[in-house]
């Protein structure tokens, strides 16, 4: 096993699911510029998540369409010229 490949700055970090406002603490080395004050009165670095086990359809059993910031529209706009070129060459 290789030595010295894991970060040494593990600490408690708060992860917040932005779709349902659930917050949980776990150890992480992820960097964050934001902090959050928890019920225990301490301040922890904050990492915002779009989806977690508390909001994912697999874990909740509920189907929910998650389209933050129009992902499909962003994709279509980004590759519109490529798609149009391919469509023209097929004709």
- The string of pLDDT tens digits covering residues 26-66 is 999 999 999 999 999 999 999 998 888 777 666 666 665 55
Domain count, the chain: 1
> Which residue range forms the structural domain that includes residue 77?
11-90
Determine the distance from the C-alpha atom of residue 4 to the mean position of all C-alpha atoms in its chain, rounded to a whole number: 27
Burial of 14 (0-12, 13-18, 19+ CB in 10 A): buried
Residue pair 15/23 in contact (Cβ under 8 Å)? The answer is yes
Residue 3 domain flag: no
- The string of pLDDT tens digits covering residues 4-34 is 888 888 999 999 988 888 899 999 999 999 9
Q: Tell me the C-alpha to C-alpha distance, in Å, between residue 82 and each of 70, 76, 87.
A: 19, 10, 9
Q: Distance between CA atoms of 31 and 18, rounded to whole angstroms?
A: 18
Residue 1 domain flag: no
pTM of the entire predicted model: 0.60
Residue 36 domain flag: yes
Residue 76 domain flag: yes
């Amino acid at each position: 096993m290789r030595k010295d490949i894991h970060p040494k700055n593990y600490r408690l970090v708060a992860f917040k699911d932005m779709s349902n406002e659930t917050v949980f603490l776990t150890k992480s080395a992820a960097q964050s510029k934001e902090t959050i004050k928890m019920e225990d009165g301490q301040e922890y670095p904050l990492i915002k998540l779009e989806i977690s086990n508390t909001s994912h359809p697999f874990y909740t059993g509920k189907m929910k369409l998650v389209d933050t910031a129009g992902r499909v529209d962003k994709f279509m706009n980004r590759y519109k010229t490529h798609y149009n070129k391919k469509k023209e060459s097929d004709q």
